[in-house]
């Protein structure tokens, strides 16, 4: 159908993917908002407008119905359909009667001023221009987000569920999604029943409710010497003391764990066994079994954060999850890294005795995780969309990893060669003692590449390095970023400028 000018200045185009009634709805709304159709304006009868548009009358009826449902128009039998007066969208500028004078600094809790929060503020203030090659973003690039597939699921949910998908949900999550997540976990060898699954707003909320449920101010939490910043902040906000545990090639040192427990008893041990952030270290099966046995013996809760689940880059048999070895393991995960960050849906598996208090705390901090997004994700999983999507992103990340690693090994000093990770989307580059991390951070920014300094992740003294990611940038940009980073590190070592560059963020 060709564009057809009409009395109202409206037109429809059947060649577009947008339904005709939606085109008509959007066109009328646009004219109402711009004042072309003012309050009291009478729209033509449906038969007249359908004839003018060369469209079926049902198209116009459907658009008029939507306009009335949305509050743009009102109709009276025998009189017609009229544009309603809309509330003013712009309020007059106002200022408070009293300017802020409260001494908020004196009211802040000590935990907000804790060193991990201050450290992150110092680093994030040193942001660089957007044109820099960004090796810090830990999220999928826009081209890897399954927009069309997810939109189909959203449309299906809204069409079939209607307002039922837009209300509050059970505190533990939508039953359909809990069933789908349980099946997805079983696929990965993690024992789970729907009643074991608690849906959370990302894995971050899972960690938060665990900390709120188990930790008192002053309690000790055991973590890797370099660990996930978000977890460190959550435990710090709970008033806990972070105790670093050294690791070897198989994972956290059992000797270090036992030594730490002789000094101070701990309540929690937080781990990322599959792909640690930032180091990329994977805990061996033997060490996982030893850790589970130690946890039971010492009555220390063990948190398994599987944020990198399904981001496998090599065809290797998976190591059993710690939750598969011990039902007391608190297992958290997320769909943000493998699907889309804005989804903000994660899950928590916990022992039955903890489920009720954790769900109660989740409800107390947030009335619920988005019902619409939960239904849409359940539909996404039910339709089998996840498997082909994972195949696509795994191939893309494999190529991006190889592009970055190849470029780094071409330009890094020979003493700093790196190996490609087998899982996840991060790469850890240890730095020699001759290179202060703050100097490296400043120099890389000056040369147009962004990296995450080890100070962001430091618990003890084991964060001497930088973390880079390969999920956000393209292969071409990653090669350029690897070149710039390699040249910076090579030049710093060659010219021995490490003691002459003034640090700007005061980290290590």
Maximum average pLDDT range among 47-51, 354-358, 474-478: 474-478
Model pLDDT, residue 90 = 63
Whether the model pTM is above 0.85: no
Q: Measure Cα distances from 56 to 49, 59, 237, 244, 335 in Å.
A: 10, 5, 61, 70, 43
Together in a domain, 475 and 422: yes
CATH number (domain holding residue 469): 3.90.1150.10
Together in a domain, 302 and 429: no
Instruction: Classify residue 98: in a domain, yes or no.
Output: no
Instruction: Classify residue 154: in a domain, yes or no.
Output: yes
Mean pLDDT computed over 218-222: 91
Q: Which of 347, 326, 323, 348 is nearest to 273 (CA)?
A: 323
Burial class (CB in 10 A: 0-12, 13-18, 19+), 9: exposed
- pLDDT tens-digit readout, 110-147: 766 666 666 555 555 555 566 899 999 989 999 999 99
Together in a domain, 171 and 296: yes
Model pLDDT, residue 433 = 81
Residue 6 has pLDDT above 60, yes or no: no
Query: Which residue, 352, 384, 416, sits at the end of a domain?
Result: 384
Residue 349 has pLDDT above 60, yes or no: yes
Sheet arrangement for strand 465-469? 426-430, 465-469, 452-453
Together in a domain, 358 and 400: no
Mean pLDDT computed over 316-334: 91
Together in a domain, 417 and 482: yes
Together in a domain, 363 and 303: yes
Model pLDDT, residue 263 = 56
Together in a domain, 255 and 399: no
Instruction: Classify residue 3: in a domain, yes or no.
Output: no
Model pLDDT, residue 2 = 35
Q: Which of 385, 391, 376 is nearest to 151 (CA)?
A: 376
Query: Which residue, 344, 359, 384, sits at the end of a domain?
Result: 384
Query: Which residue, 364, 384, 404, sits at the end of a domain?
Result: 384
Residue 231 has pLDDT above 50, yes or no: yes
Instruction: Classify residue 490: in a domain, yes or no.
Output: yes
Together in a domain, 229 and 372: yes
Together in a domain, 425 and 442: yes
d(CA 58, CA 71): 20
Mean pLDDT computed over 96-121: 66
- pLDDT tens-digit readout, 241-278: 888 998 888 889 999 888 876 656 788 999 999 999 99
Confidence of residue 223 (pLDDT cuts 50, 70, 90): very high
Residue 180 has pLDDT above 70, yes or no: yes
Q: Which two tokens stand for residue 419?
A: 């190996």
Model pLDDT, residue 114 = 63
Together in a domain, 352 and 432: no
Together in a domain, 451 and 418: yes
Model pLDDT, residue 4 = 37
Instruction: Classify residue 362: in a domain, yes or no.
Output: yes
- pLDDT tens-digit readout, 21-39: 888 898 898 888 888 889 8
CATH number (domain holding residue 233): 3.40.640.10
Instruction: Classify residue 110: in a domain, yes or no.
Output: no
Mean pLDDT computed over 306-329: 90
CA atoms within 13 A on the CB side of 176: 17
- How many domains does one find in the chain? 3
Residue 505 has pLDDT above 70, yes or no: no
Residue 498 has pLDDT above 50, yes or no: no
The residue behind tokens 């960050």 is 341
Q: What is the mean pLDDT of the chain?
A: 85
Confidence of residue 214 (pLDDT cuts 50, 70, 90): very high
Confidence of residue 411 (pLDDT cuts 50, 70, 90): very high
Model pLDDT, residue 89 = 61
- Specify the range with the lowest mean pLDDT, choosing from 71-80, 171-180, 275-284, 288-297: 71-80
- DSSP assignment letter at 458: B
Which residues span the domain enclosing 38? Answer: 20-83
Instruction: Classify residue 5: in a domain, yes or no.
Output: no
Model pLDDT, residue 120 = 59
Q: Give the pairing type, strands 251-252 and 247-248.
A: antiparallel
CATH number (domain holding residue 74): 1.10.10.10
Q: Higher pLDDT residue, 272 or 87?
A: 272
pLDDT above 90: percentage of residues in the chain: 43
d(CA 266, CA 235): 13
Model pLDDT, residue 425 = 94
Together in a domain, 218 and 262: yes
Mean pLDDT computed over 425-435: 88
Instruction: Classify residue 500: in a domain, yes or no.
Output: no
Burial class (CB in 10 A: 0-12, 13-18, 19+), 302: buried
């Amino acid at each position: 159908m060709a564009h057809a000018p009409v009395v109202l200045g409206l037109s429809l185009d059947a060649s577009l993917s947008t339904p005709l009634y939606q085109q008509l709805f959007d066109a009328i709304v646009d004219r109402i908002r711009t004042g072309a159709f003012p309050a009291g304006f009478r729209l033509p009868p449906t038969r007249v407008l359908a004839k003018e548009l060369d469209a079926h009358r049902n198209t116009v009826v459907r658009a008029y119905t939507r306009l009335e449902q949305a509050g743009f128009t009102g109709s009276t039998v025998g009189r017609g359909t009229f544009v309603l007066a809309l509330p003013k969208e712009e309020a007059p500028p106002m200022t408070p009667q009293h300017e802020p004078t409260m001494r908020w600094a004196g009211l802040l809790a000590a935990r907000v001023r804790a060193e991990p929060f201050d450290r992150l503020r110092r680093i994030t203030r040193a942001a660089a221009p957007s044109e820099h090659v960004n090796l810090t973003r830990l999220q999928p690039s826009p081209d890897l987000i399954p927009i069309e597939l997810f939109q189909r699921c959203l449309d299906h949910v809204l069409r079939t569920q209607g307002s039922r998908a837009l209300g509050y949900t059970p505190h533990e999550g939508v039953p359909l999604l809990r069933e789908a997540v349980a099946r997805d976990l079983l696929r990965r060898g993690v024992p789970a029943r729907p009643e074991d699954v608690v849906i959370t707003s990302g894995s971050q909320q899972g960690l938060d409710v665990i900390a709120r449920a188990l930790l008192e101010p002053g309690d000790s939490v055991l973590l890797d010497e370099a660990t996930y910043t978000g977890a460190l902040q959550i435990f710090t906000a709970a008033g806990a003391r972070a105790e670093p545990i050294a690791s070897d090639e198989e994972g956290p040192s059992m000797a270090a764990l036992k030594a730490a427990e002789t000094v101070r008893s701990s309540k929690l041990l937080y781990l990322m066994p599959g792909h640690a952030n930032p180091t990329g270290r994977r805990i061996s099966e033997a060490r996982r079994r030893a850790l589970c046995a130690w946890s039971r013996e010492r009555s220390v809760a063990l948190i398994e954060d599987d944020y990198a689940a399904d981001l496998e880059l090599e065809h290797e048999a998976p190591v059993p999850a710690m939750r598969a070895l011990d039902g007391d393991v608190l297992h958290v995960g997320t769909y943000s890294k493998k699907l889309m960050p804005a989804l903000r849906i994660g899950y928590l598996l916990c022992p039955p005795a903890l489920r009720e208090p954790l769900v109660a705390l989740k409800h107390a901090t947030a009335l619920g995780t988005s019902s619409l997004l939960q239904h849409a994700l359940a539909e996404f999983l039910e339709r089998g969309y996840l498997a082909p999507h994972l195949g696509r992103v795994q191939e893309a990340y494999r190529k991006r990893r190889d592009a970055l690693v190849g470029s780094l090994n071409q330009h890094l000093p020979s003493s700093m060669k790196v190996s490609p990770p087998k899982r996840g989307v991060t790469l850890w580059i240890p730095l020699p003692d001759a290179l202060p991390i703050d100097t490296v951070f400043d120099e890389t920014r000056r040369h147009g590449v962004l990296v995450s300094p080890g100070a962001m992740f430091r618990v003890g003294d084991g964060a001497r390095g930088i973390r880079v990611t390969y999920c956000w940038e393209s292969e071409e940009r990653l090669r350029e970023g690897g070149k710039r980073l390699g040249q910076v590190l090579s030049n710093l070592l060659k010219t021995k400028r490490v003691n002459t560059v003034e640090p700007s963020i005061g980290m290590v």
